[in-house]
Structure 1
Amino acid sequence: MTTDTGSVLARPESGPVTGIRGADQVLRFPGIRYGTAERFAQPVRADRHTDTVDATRPGPICPQLPSRLEPVYGPQWNEPPQSEDCLFLAITTPDLAGNRPVMVWVHGGGYVTGGGTLPISDGGRLTVDGDVVVVSINYRLGALGYLVHKGVSDGNLGLYDQILALEWVHDNIAAFGGDPANITVFGQSAGASSAIALLSVPRSRRLIRRVIAQNAPTLATLPTLNEALAAGPYFAEAAGGDLTTLPVQRILDAQARTGQWNADMSPRPGTVPLRPALTDPLADPETNHRTFRSEPMPDLLIGYTSAEGRAFALSAPTPVPEEAVVAMSRRVFIEPAHEIGQQVLDGCGAVFLYEFGWAPMEGGLGAVHGVEMPFLLGTREAWTDSPMLGSTDWATVEAKGRTLRQSWAHFARYGSPSTAEAEWPQWNGDETSVHQINW
């Protein structure tokens, strides 16, 4: 229900919360707690409350260092505070009544940066154009989410956070006008890989009807369990103290030093520690390929941009030749997308595979990793200074993005991104059925 002040009261099973109705008429609940967790411990569901909780302010994001892709995406605007107490989610919905498809957003950032409660993750435009409920989640990052060290942490805590958030959504989203039986998990980059990982865990897979994976990187950059265990003692030495009580800045500093150590010492160049460890049921550590179970496959929408690698070349210490950028894009993003799509096809799931080739007419950085993001999520203010948009005006982003948002929502609702404005072929395993988004 709403009041004259524009506040909104929802009554999920977890307890009543207040949100706000924006000028766009979207109902927003940007600060709902879904869980709690002690440092390096498994997350637990937040206690049910009977008093009304104010959820009108964005929940804090996980502690993190600056993103190496800030020169591509631009600086964060109106960033919430950082805190280890970060297991919050944000909800946007057209109305509290109804039974709409639910789209759960898992943010990217290389497992070390980002947040679901950041303005770039705001789901308002997707909610309006797709008539869907959008949920954006925070989860633990870097060492706090993925350290593997005997006696301290078993690792993959960030993924367990995501599973807990998904369970909260399933049990509570009906109070926000969402259908708990129709949940699509969608994510970008590390968030896309996380969305796929959730399919290999029975606890979360049973809750997921469809998956959208944008710019999902190869699993070859993730450590095996043995590699993660090898990095643990180095991290502990770099931190220099009781890991359960050290100030968070010491944790972040040790995290950065561990990354450099791994770059110098790793027998598999390109792997990165303090990320999800490749352990069953996440993936086969021998082949680094995703291993799905025997249940029927969900529908999958998966894709990449035409110049994925250019975003990472910009942050390299020395110039990267264009042919190396092309090779990296194919090896790390394009070929893995085809491999994952083929696994879903083999499991009799429907697959739609796309290549996003749009780039600004003037300025910008080409069709780089994540360039489709401003067309799907986030506020105008959040993307105003984004270098990858070049001189593109916001009216153009809005007009072109509306088609994309409608396709994403149509897929969540019906299992196909085809709309009256954009016809998509179902992918059959070859290049001719890859949908081209060039506008």
Structure 2
Amino acid sequence: MGDSDRIEILKTVGATSQFFYFFVMNFEPFIFSCVLQQKSLKFLHMNKKIITLFTIILSFTTVIAFAQDAQEILGIAKETKTKEYYQQQSELWKGKTQKEPQNANAWYNYYKAMRAFYQRDDMSTWNNDRGAIFVKLQPIINASKKHIGQKYEYFLMESVNTDDGEKAFDYLKKAYVINPDRIETYEGLLTRYIIDQDWSEAKEVALRIYESNLYSNQAYLWNHNVLVSTRGQSIIFSHGDMDTLPRHVLQLANGVGENAFIVNEWLLGYHEKYRNKVCQHLGIRNYSKKLSDFADMATFKNAIVTYIIEQSKSTYQIYFGCGTDIQLFEKLGIKENMYLTGVVFQYSEEALDNLSLAIDNFENRYNLDYLMTNYQFHPHDAIIQKYLNATYIPGLNKLKKHYATVEDQRKAEKYNQLMHQIAVNSGRQAEIEAWYK
């Protein structure tokens, strides 16, 4: 990583750190609940008393602002809600189940609200012993069965309330058979087929996802821009739901970025079958060490990623999204080999003209119109605008400075306006603008 890139990234470290934090706290594939283990991100350096005071004020004002109506629960991966919000929503949905005990949707949202509450309330237990939380949630499912029987929602709840992958998959398929047109099973099925590398089944589900508008246009365009950043035979590492599943949908349903092999870091750690299938695809030996050889899951998956890079770097171009915490590169020992080329980092052991690559990406490959004008309303937009779109900032700032240096004020202002619009749309304008002003 060149000095100028290092300075650029350090100045905008909030973008990558907060984006990575979002994935750490919100990664939850629908079936397998592969929750991240990393808990020591240090992107906020604030006095503990200030944090406590701020939390109290925020909690108080948030509770006041809560709607008194039961709201559809999207879950922690797709909405930015507090523990208090989910606690209130669980009470509201519980009340609906008492008034309308045969309302399957009420039971399902009651379950989802309580699940999200437990996740927000005790992330450590969710990370390390989620079976204990499943035990707390099981009575909701058992009670629902007495009233709604084996309906679609019952099988959905059972599918996400177990550590047993085969059992979860069986419940999910039962729900899918009842109503294959409902979207709630699609992410779980796609996740399972990705783990199995069963691309025929994955494509069928991906087409259903694409046709159903499950993901927002913004999610697709952001992932599109990541995929088209890759060149030649490539590996692109991903972290969570929103940088993995829509990306696979684009490849399978639209043929975007078919040169890039998507590898989810955390699935590598949690699923031996996935790990071995990835190694088989890349033409390298299976990784031989086990989780028990390491202190925790984060260290284990980092070792697997390092192994894949070392074994594949001679035949594959290797990329990470800009949402990657740059501290990960330090832990992997590859910081000096990472180059910012747009909305991705590219690995290279030789000097890389990353400015030219960034210019080509932003000016010839990326679709950026949606950053200025969005013609679709989608429930996921708030997440995309608050976190994902912020990952453009390091690359945009690099280009703005370049064009200011060569005295091309028109282009410098163009990229300045894009950064400004991203900051405004994020809902945290002052915070984001502080990264680059």
Q: Which has the higher helix share?
A: 2
Higher relative contact order (CA 8 A, sep 6+): 2
TM-score normalized by structure 2? 0.29
Task: Give the structure-1-normalised TM-score.
Answer: 0.29
